[in-house]
Amino acid sequence: MTHLLLTQAQNLHRLGDLAGAESHYRAALRDEPENPDILYGLGVALHQLNRLDEALAIYDALLVRYPSIAEVHGYRAIVFSMLDRHEEALSSYDRAVALGANQPGLWSNRGNALLALGRHKEALASFDRALRLEPRHAEGHYNKGVTLAALGDIGAAIIAFGAAIALQPSYADALEYHGMLLSQLHRYDAALADFDAVLALREGSAATHYNRANALSVLKRFDEAAKAAAEALRLDPDYPYARGVLVHSQLSVCDWEGLDEQAAKIEAALRDGKRTLSPFEYLALCPSAEQQWRCAEIWMSHLYPPQSLPLWRGERYGHKRLRVAYLSADFCNHPVAILMAGVFEHHDRSRFEIFGVSFTPEHESPLRTRLENAFEHFVEVRSKTDGQIAKLLREWEIDIAVDLMGYTRECRTGILAHRPAPVQVNYLGYPGTMGAPYIDYILADKVTIPEEQQQHYREAVAYLPHTYLPHDSRTAPAGPPPTRAEAGLPETGFIFACFNGPYKFSAPLFDVWMRLLRDVPGSVLWLSRQDREAMWHLRQAAALRGIAPERILFATYAEDWNAHIARLRLADLFLDTSPYGAHTTASDALWAGVPVLTFAGETFAGRVAASLLTAAQMPELIAASLADYESRALNLARHPAALSRLREALSRNRETSPLFDTARFCRNLEAVYREMGRRAGQGEKARTLIIDDDAAAITT
Read off the pLDDT of residues 627-670 as tens digits, 9 standing for 90 and up.
999 999 999 999 999 999 999 999 998 888 899 999 999 999 99
* 48 & 124 share domain: yes
393: exposed, middle or buried (Cβ count in 10 Å: 0-12, 13-18, 19+): buried
CA distance to 203, 239, 385, per residue, from 231 (Å): 10, 10, 33
CATH number for the domain that contains residue 339: 3.40.50.11380
pLDDT at 552 (0 to 100): 98
Both 424 and 565 in a single domain?
no
Query: Which 3 state secondary structure label does DSSP give 363?
Result: coil
In a domain, 130, yes or no: yes
Indicate if the alpha-carbon torsion angle 156, 162, 166, 171 is positive or negative: positive
CA-CA distance, 313 to 419, in Å (whole number)? 8
293 in the same domain as 314: no
Amino acid of residue 90: L
All residues at 6 or more sequence positions from 552 whose CB lies less than 8 Å from its CB, including other chains = 524, 525, 527, 535, 538, 539, 542
Range of the domain at 334: 305-473+666-700
The residues near 160 (Cβ < 8 Å, ≥ 6 apart) are 141, 142, 144, 145, 148
pLDDT at 33: 83
Q: What is the end-to-end Cα distance of the chain in Å, rounded? A: 90
Question: Is there a contact between 313 and 284 (Cβ–Cβ < 8 Å)?
Answer: no
pLDDT value at position 696? Answer: 64
Give the distance between the most distant pair of CA atoms in the chain: 112
pTM of the predicted structure, to 2 decimals: 0.91
Asked if 537 and 445 sit in the same domain, the reply is no
543 in any annotated domain: yes
User: Which of 254, 271, 303 is the endpoint of a domain?
Assistant: 303
Give the list of residues 6+ apart from residue 360 with CB closer than 8 angstroms, or none.
328, 329, 330, 331, 332, 368, 380, 382
One domain for residues 126 and 253: no
**In a 10 Å sphere around its CB, with 0-12 CB exposed, 13-18 middle and 19+ buried, how is residue 427 labelled?**
buried
Nearest to 342 by CA among 364, 374, 366: 374
Instruction: Say yes or no: 567 and 696 in one domain.
Output: no
Are residues 458 and 501 part of one domain? Answer: no
Statement to judge: residues 564 and 502 lie in one domain = yes
Last residue of some domain: 184, 217, 250?
Answer: 217
Q: For 478-489, give one letter per residue: b (16+ CB within 10 A) or e.
A: beebeeeeebeb
Does some domain include residue 370? yes
Report the 10 Å Cβ neighbour count for 123.
Answer: 26
| Residue 403 bridge partners (DSSP) | 327, 426
Low-confidence ranges of the chain (pLDDT < 50): none
Query: CA-CA distance, 69 to 612, in Å (whole number)?
Result: 77
Of the candidates 196, 217, 238, which is a domain's last residue?
A: 217
CB atoms within 10 A of CB 392: 18
Q: Is residue 480 in a domain?
A: no
Are 311 and 442 in a shared domain? yes
Q: Phi first, then psi: what are they for 498, rounded to 5°?
A: -155, 115
SS3 state of residue 293: helix
For 76-119, what is each residue's pLDDT tens digit? 989 899 999 999 999 999 999 999 999 999 999 999 999 999 99
Q: Which residues pair with 690 in a beta bridge?
A: 463, 699
**How many other C-beta atoms lie within 10 A of the C-beta of residue 273?**
11
Same domain, 509 and 624: yes
Distance from C-alpha of 212 to C-alpha of 349, rounded to nearest angstrom: 47
Does residue 506 lie in a domain region?
A: yes
pLDDT at 697: 62
Q: Both 591 and 533 in a single domain?
A: yes
Domain check: are 507 and 385 in the same one?
Answer: no
Q: CA nearest 346: which of 374, 378, 377?
A: 374
**Number of CB atoms found within 10 A of residue 271's CB:** 10
> Is 75 within 8 Å of 43 (Cβ atoms)?
yes
For residue 255, the domain's CATH number is 1.25.40.10
* Residue 483 included in any domain: no
Structural domain total, the chain: 4
- Can you list the alpha helix ranges (DSSP code H) found in 545-661? 561-568, 584-591, 608-615, 626-638, 640-656
- Cα torsion through 239, 240, 246, 248, rounded to 10: 170
133 by DSSP, 3-state: which? helix
**What is residue 1's predicted lDDT score, i.e. its pLDDT?**
59
Does residue 486 fall inside a structural domain? no
Residue 684 lies inside a defined structural domain of this protein: yes
688: how many CB neighbours lie within 10 A of its CB?
13
